[in-house]
Amino acid sequence: MRNVKWLKSVIVAIILLLPLTALARGIDPLVSTDWLQKNLGNAKVVIVDVRKVEDYKAGHIPGAVNVFYGSWAIKKGDLLNELPPIDDLADVIGSAGIGKDSLVVIVGKTDKVPDQFDMTRVAWTLKYLGVPNVAILNGGQNQWVKENKPLSQDMVKAKAKSFKASITDKLYVDKAYVLDKLGKATIIDTRAPAFYEGKEKLAFVPKLGRIKGAVNLPVGQLYTPEGLYKDKAALAALAGKAAGNDLNKELLLYCDTGKTCTSWAFIMTEMLGYKDVKVYDGSSMEWLADPSAPAEP
């Protein structure tokens, strides 16, 4: 009973402190369609539409530049969703008109839950390259269209900027790093429970199972049935249950390819105030292909 009381107090304290974390940024990590509509003329705001060129040309948020998701994450060897070379990424960012002081809003489609993660992987990658003020449009393009907000078919050509990457150390980590942290950091498997429990796997993942000692925080829990993010209190409670409430504890998040886990990584860091969150880019595709990498069950 005493423990429950203590846990409740900690959660309440976290929720009360949440606005302070938001104030540290130039933009809220999740922006609403209304906010974006009001800020369409804001010169500091760069709207980045990560959908396919064909979809973008069919209709996009006025002023949004198109930088297709495939520019941000590529296949390397057998691994999906890996980082392109940094100089290529810097070109992509600069040619989209993004500077380090830009307020970037990422827009993607949200037809299905997995679509959400294009946006968060791009947001995490921008943070990695030194762009701090990145936001996700809550509900993405679908929400904008659903609310009958204006659309444009003009091809927006951004005013290119020279962008020099400043890598934010360790937002993406490799297998050796995770191996070294086994038993020390909290490892969070963000896949659905059946995948975490070793009952199911995707075809391209070499075998069933999870990283030894990992806890489960499924990405499906982030969203409402309408495809919007749940409110802060609900997200804080979910995260706290899996990751604990020590905001300074090192957390290593992974999934199948290093893409979907960026959703919790982004929310935990940018909204909930966790200070040491890293994404294991190789994720299950790499870990479970290595017989010497400790796995369970």
Q: Using CB under 8 A, which of the segments 85-93, 117-125, 221-229, 286-294 binds another protein?
A: 85-93
Residue 215 and residue 244 in contact, taking contact as beta carbons nearer than 8 Å: no
Instruction: State in angstroms the smallest separation of the CB of 156 from another protein.
Output: 9
- Indicate the residue among 81 and 110 with the shorter CB distance to another protein: 81
Whether the CB-CB separation of 147 and 184 falls below 8 Å is answered with no
User: Which CB atom, from 74 or from 151, has the smaller least distance to another protein?
Assistant: 74
Torsion of CA 13, 278, 27, 46, to 10 degrees: -170
Residue 25 in contact with residue 18, Cβ under 8 Å?
Answer: no
Q: CB of 235: closest distance to another protein in angstroms? A: 32
Cβ neighbors of 259 (< 8 A, separation 6 or more) are 73, 80, 81, 117, 118, 121
Cα–Cα distance list, 91 to 32, 237, 254 (Å) = 29, 39, 27
Tell the smallest beta-carbon distance from residue 98 to another protein (Å).
14
Q: Which of residues 34-63 bind another protein (CB under 8 A)?
A: 52-54, 56-57
Contact call for residue 180 and another protein (CB under 8 A):
no
Decide if residue 85 touches another protein (CB under 8 A): yes
Of the candidate residues 34, 87, 101, 180, the single one contacting another protein (CB under 8 A): 87
The DSSP element (H or E) to which 243 belongs, if any, is helix 232-243
Q: Taking CB under 8 A as the rule, which mask of x and - marks residues 110-149 in contact with another protein?
A: ----------------------------------------
Residue 89 or residue 123: which is nearer to another protein going by CB?
89
95 is a site residue for another protein (CB under 8 A): yes
Report the run of H or E that residue 120 belongs to, with start and end: helix 116-128
Q: Residue for token digits 């500091």?
A: 44
> Backbone phi, then psi, for 248, in 5-degree steps?
-95, -5
Stretch that binds another protein, among 83-91, 126-134, 140-148, 225-233 (CB under 8 A): 83-91
Look up tokens 């940094």; give the residue: 86
Figure out which of the listed residues 34, 88, 200, 290 binds another protein, where binding follows CB under 8 A: 88
Output 84 or 294, the one with its CB closest to another protein: 84
- The strand pairing partners of 134, in sequence order, are 104
C-alpha 271: how far from its chain's center? Answer: 11
* CB neighbour class for 205 (10 Å; exposed up to 12, middle 13-18, buried from 19): buried
Phi and psi for 88 in degrees, rounded to 5? -65, -45
Q: Which listed residue (13, 17, 155, 233) binds another protein by CB under 8 A?
A: 155
Nearer to another protein, 51 or 191 (CB): 51
Applying CB under 8 A, which residues contact another protein? 52-54, 56-57, 66-68, 70-71, 74-75, 84-85, 87-88, 91-92, 95, 155
